[in-house]
Chain A
Amino acid sequence: METDLNSQDRKDLDKFIKFFALKTVQVIVQARLGEKICTRSSSSPTGSDWFNLAIKDIPEVTHEAKKALAGQLPAVGRSMCVEISLKTSEGDSMELEIWCLEMNEKCDKEIKVSYAVYNRLSLLLKSLLAITRVTPAYRLSRKQGHEYVILYRIYFGEVQLNGLGEGFQTVRVGTVGTPVGTITLSCAYRINLAFMSTRHFERTPPIMGIIIDHFVDRPYPSSSPMHPCNYRTTSEDTGVTYPSVEDSQEVCTTSFSTSPPSQCVFTVTKAHFQTPTPVVTDTLRVPMAGLAFSHQLSSSRLSYQPAALGVGSADLAYPVVFAAGLNATHPHQLMVPGKDGGVPLAPNQPAHGAQADQERLATYTVSDGAHCAVTPSSSEDTETVSNSSEGRASPHDVLETIFVRKVGAFVNKPINQVTLTSLDIPFAMFAPKNLELEDADPMVNPPDSPETTSPLQGSLHSDGSSGGSSGNTQDDFVMIDFKPAFSKDDILPMDLGTFYREFQNPPQLSSLSIDIGAQSMAEDLDSLPEKLAVHEKNVREFDAFVETLQ
């Protein structure tokens, strides 16, 4: 198109637009990471802060953006789009927003490139910063973690708004006229969160935690891969570099937290891992820090995991080798072979249906010391299942089923009344069928010999605060060792884990052991008046108590 621009101005303008596009992507992705962003003002110009704004550059994001742009610039009919979507741990995904950087033909020839256009682009970036915190996806992204993650995808070309459902809304962030066209930045966002209400995600947030969920490139045939937007760290400002492989064991115990709502146990079976490719190609949700995993993110202020592994990482932009060996090639290695017992990967993450695809398997956290803190040695073959490194007491054989069960926090199962059929297990239909083993259920028939049951099996305890996730009531798993978070073995003779094990199965409360048949309704009713009389006597105390509450 003919412009009156001289070549220097044209070059400048192209550069401005290119960097504006890159910064736009950075702002959007960083806003969906799930944590607060903070950058410092600097009175002396460094020369490297485009548009006079301190916006960090996450290398992977820049790389992806450049890849999508492939040397081109947004032009008429060729828009740069950033798609933000949500993916649950069950594999459902939903597009939330599409941010579009478009160019139209309306030119403003009068405007000065180096001055006015630059300043207006800067203003537009500030507006983008403000608007990214205001769309519904922001609140969702702040709560991401166990149940879902937020992904982003950059593409260049025609804007595709089909995935946003009906009635999506658009907000225009701003426009800047240039001599070659008008740049428009806008966002189309979904308002119909039909299959998941926001309430669904407002559960207890993870108590702490260095929680990292990584997705690997999914090689979509025709679209660019999705990437996670949620690298988190507890100390975002200090540029914490993650512990190297050697420290993973230690970090394991300290860096996990139990989220009470999600006490899941997780077993792995050989049968489910069929993928032969040596590279993890599916999206995996790799838990956390401490698990060393290969990562090409360089550590930046937002503390992305430094590359720790070299396993095939060179080829992947976002390689995540599920360190625990739960990768495509040799997933079975997670299991301690043979006699040692199964691999109790006890994730703390809820919402895992019993789908046995890798995605979900990957969602275990090491928190119970489910020694998946497999040292991510580069060979997937090594039995680095760390359970081998700890003295395993549990002699159970590996069970051959996978199931993940989500139980509510503080659920206390009355032991005697548990039957499998009456268990209110979410996703019970996915539970493997061979679990009708009431006989084998330790809760129903307490085992005689110590080696038949891991002491952690048994009733659920509402001890979210202890940091250990109790074993699930289903007996078909084996907890190889119990390593509660925040505890170390060597400090006290009686450490938290031992304490926990010892008092895992306290004697039944007397009130619970009353047979149902023993006390009839009539007797209950008879005792009511007495109880009422007692309460009435204490009415004043109750009132005073209620007063203090108001």
Chain B
Amino acid sequence: MNCRSEVLEVSVEGRQVEEAMLAVLHTVLLHRSTGKFHYKKEGTYSIGTVGTQDVDCDFIDFTYVRVSSEELDRALRKVVGEFRDALRSSGGDGLGQMSLEFYQKKKSRWPFSDECIPWEVWTVKVHVVALATEQERQICREKVGEKLCEKIINIVEVMNRHEYLPKMPTQSEVDNVFDTGLRDVQPYLYKISFQITDALGSSVTTTMRRLIKDTLAL
């Protein structure tokens, strides 16, 4: 199946990693979340309301809009925090990436487990730079802010193409398409993962994964 893949790259200072990632992820999820579905008789449904809120970044001259859902925010912050910690402890030159993947579940028959079929993957590559003086940091604040503005415009451009989106599901199928676990909003099913790239430019995990896949393909 064709999966749409988008890659964004940012260069940030260490303490900006979290906010930059949250800004991008939240912007994508803003577009990929709807209100909660309420199914009624005869296969119709009504949709709840999605609220939004502005978030100012502390280390970047930037404000982004996110969905007003504390649960979603917490989930994202958790994984972004882990990414940030992994980046920090990796030493190296601070290269890493996070992937936000939207997928659909396809029920398979026994004994195979459900398949997760991605239909859109957003990859954000991060390059962490270390700055020496306060003046450089100030310039970085503004520069990264401008860069993020460009990224948001890119994201919106992609969203605007109105390419494949899963069909609106029936009530029985809704969990295969949407994450219905949140209380106030309903994003498409998503998963977030990250990798820390070593100096060679390829990550250990991807190399291993490639090896295994290649072996299995034989």
Contacts and interface: CB of A to CB of B under 8 A. Distances in A.
A143 to B, nearest CB: 11
> Which of A41, A126, A175 has the most chain B CB within a 10 Å cutoff?
A41
Interface stretch (A6-14, A127-135, A219-227, A348-356): A127-135
Nearest to B47: A52
B124 to A, nearest CB: 16
Interface in A13-65: 36-46, 49, 52-54
A43 B51 CA distance: 10
Interface in B98-119: none
B160 A38 contact: no
Interface stretch (A146-154, A166-174, A243-251, A446-454): A166-174
B157 interface: yes
B153 A131 contact: yes
A41 B30 contact: no
Interface of B: 27, 30-31, 34-36, 38, 46-56, 61, 63-65, 67-69, 149, 152-153, 155-157, 159-160, 162, 168, 183-185
Nearest to A124: B160
Contact of B65 (A52, A129, A139, A175): A129
Contact of A40 (B36, B47, B51): B51
A200 to B, nearest CB: 15
Given A44-B38, A46-B49, A174-B159, A133 B54 contact: yes
A430 interface: no
B48 A52 contact: yes
A10 B197 CA distance: 54
B160 A127 contact: yes
Contacts of B184: 41-43
Contacts of B64: 130, 133
Nearest to B26: A130
A36 B159 contact: no
14 contacts: A40-B51, A41-B35, A41-B48, A41-B184, A42-B35, A44-B36, A126-B52, A130-B31, A130-B64, A130-B155, A131-B152, A133-B63, A134-B149, A172-B160
Nearest to B184: A41
Nearest to A175: B160
A45 B36 CA distance: 8
Contacts of A175: 160
Nearest to B68: A41
Given A38-B68, A43-B184, A174-B160, 14 more contacts: A38-B52, A41-B48, A43-B48, A45-B35, A45-B49, A52-B34, A54-B51, A54-B68, A131-B152, A133-B63, A133-B64, A142-B63, A172-B157, A173-B156
A177 to B, nearest CB: 8
Contacts of B168: 115
B56 A36 contact: yes
A133 B68 CA distance: 16
A129 B50 CA distance: 12
A131 B31 CA distance: 12
* Overall SS of chain B's interface: mixed
Contacts of A134: 149, 152-153
A66 interface: no
A56 B38 CA distance: 23
Nearest to A115: B168
Contacts of B55: 36
Given A43-B48, A127-B31, A138-B63, A36 B156 contact: no
Contact of A41 (B27, B46, B63, B67): B67
Contacts of A39: 51-53, 68
A37 B53 CA distance: 6
A120 interface: yes
Contacts of B54: 36-38, 133
A188 interface: no
Contacts of A115: 168
Contacts of B48: 41-45, 52
Contacts of B51: 38-42, 53-54
A202 to B, nearest CB: 10
A122 B160 CA distance: 11
Contacts of B38: 44-45
A317 interface: no
Contacts of A49: 49
Given A45-B35, A171-B153, A173-B160, A130 B65 contact: yes
B68 A130 contact: no
Contacts of A316: none
B79 to A, nearest CB: 21
B63 A123 contact: no
A41 B162 CA distance: 24
Contact of B50 (A37, A54, A124): A54
A174 B156 CA distance: 8
A330 B168 CA distance: 64
In order of increasing CB-CB distance, the 6 nearest A-B pairs are: A174-B160, A39-B51, A38-B53, A54-B51, A41-B184, A36-B54
Interface string A153-186: 0000000000000000001111110000000000
Contacts of B183: 43
Contacts of A124: 160
